[in-house]
Amino acid sequence: MVTTKNKWVPYLFLLPGVLLFLGVGVYSVGFSILLSFYNWSGIDFSTARFEGLANFRQFLLGDDPIVTQNFYKALLHNALIAVFQVVIVVPAALVLAFTLQNTKMAAMYRTVYFLPMIASGVAIFYVWKGLFEPAGALNALFQWIGLDFLVIPGGMLGSSSTSLMGIILTTIWGGLPGTLILYYAGLTSIDPTLYEAASVDGASKTTLIRKITWPLLKPITLIAVIQMINGAFQTFENVFIMTGGGPGGSSEVIGTLVYRTAFLDNDYGLASAIGWVSFLVTGVIAIFSIRSFQADI
């Protein structure tokens, strides 16, 4: 029981977490915002030079045509990843969630479906890289089933026409379990009496899905879509490991562009500015998604 004597004790317990949040979370975010207005090479902030909005002008308004081109190209790639993910993962996860709910071998399927979530990303992406090699499993499979026209001689990641597709495939594979969990939880939380009542009234299976399941799953879909858009705009690991953004910048995303700008070109100010604009873009898309769904919910 909380008394006036010990009412501050709970706050004391919260103190480490609050300090950690302030020290790591707020400080680093604030520092990063500050950095985006400076030219700084990463060592000793006293050498940083205030540049106002120059970093933003560099890549948004074409002050530096190459950085501008790289930024918009990377942004487009992120957007494509997001679109493909939403369009493919949402229906796929929904179907798989139904399967999970209605199969006797749910435990086995759950393990298989959730594998991408528990496996180490770095190790898995090296496996994917191997699968996409010229002599990798994908080309071998196409040859084996007689679809030779689908074989990519330089490997999926070695061609600028297909490298982004390879990245999208791995992103879809990695994004499926999270959405699946959401839908599975959503499906199991729907009150079965709603279905019973509708069935008594003569509703068909399709009507049950259309009138009960889908409306009740809409808030979950909203969360899933926002999560996927957010994830797509934070894509980094798979691109960094599998293509490094190439060939010819064909799979460059904001994450690798920021990494290259900060850690290879030592331009932390520009990298921060790019990162924050990308964050704002993600935020705008998320708000747009929320509004369009809210009108429906």
Partner 1 sequence: MNRKAGCILSTMTASALLLSACSGGGGDDNAAGSGKELTMWTWKVAYTPGFEAAAKLYEQKTGVKVKIDTFTPDDTYRQKFQAAANSKNLPDVINWWATAGDSIEGSVLELSGEIKDDVLGKYVGTAMDPIRITQSQVDSWKTDKNATTVQKGLKVGEFYGLPLDIGGFFTFYGNKKLLEEAGLKAEAPKTWEEFVSMMEAVKAKSGTPGLVFGAKIPDLWENWAGSALSIMHGGPQGYIDLLERKAKMSDPANLPVVKAMETLAGKELLMPGVLSTDIDGADQAFAAGKAAFDLGGSFTMSTLLAMGMKPEDIITFPVPPLEGSKIQAWTTDPFTLTQLSVNKDSKNREAALDFITFMTTDPEAAVAFANGAYTVPAVNLGDHAKNLDPNLKSISDTFAKEPGPYSEASPAINSLRGKHKEWEVYAQALQSVIEKKLTAEQAAGKFDDTMAKLEASGN
Give residues in contact with partner 1 (CB under 8 A). Answer: 5-6, 9, 12-13, 15-16, 19-20, 23, 39-45, 47-49, 54, 62-66, 129, 132-135, 153-155, 157-160, 163, 242-244, 246-249, 263-264, 266-267
Contact (Cβ atoms closer than 8 angstroms) between residue 270 and residue 55: yes
Residue in the structure block whose two tokens are 């599998």: 242
CB of 170 to partner 1, least distance (A): 14
- State the burial class of residue 183 (Cβ atoms within 10 Å of its Cβ: 0-12, 13-18, 19+): buried
Shortest CB 205 distance to partner 1, Å: 47
CA angle, residues 179, 219, 287, in degrees to nearest 5: 95
At its nearest, how many Å lie between partner 1 and the CB of residue 42?
5
H helices within the chain, ranges in order? 9-20, 27-35, 54-60, 65-102, 106-118, 121-132, 137-144, 163-188, 192-200, 205-208, 214-233, 237-242, 254-259, 268-294
Q: Which is nearer to partner 1, 17 or 146 (CB)?
A: 17
Q: Which is nearer to partner 1, 15 or 29 (CB)?
A: 15
Given the complex with partner 1, which of 27 and 288 has the nearer CB atom?
Answer: 27
Whose CA is closest to 157, among 251, 80, 74, 256? 251
Structure tokens at 122: 């770095």
- Residue 150 per-residue DSSP state: G
**Of residues 9 and 197, the one with the C-beta less far from partner 1:** 9
- Rounded to a whole number of angstroms, the minimum distance from the CB of residue 188 to partner 1 is 36
Smallest distance from partner 1 to CB 234, Å? 19
CB of 81 to partner 1, least distance (A): 18
Q: Which is nearer to partner 1, 6 or 207 (CB)?
A: 6
User: Which of 157/274 has CB closer to partner 1?
Assistant: 157
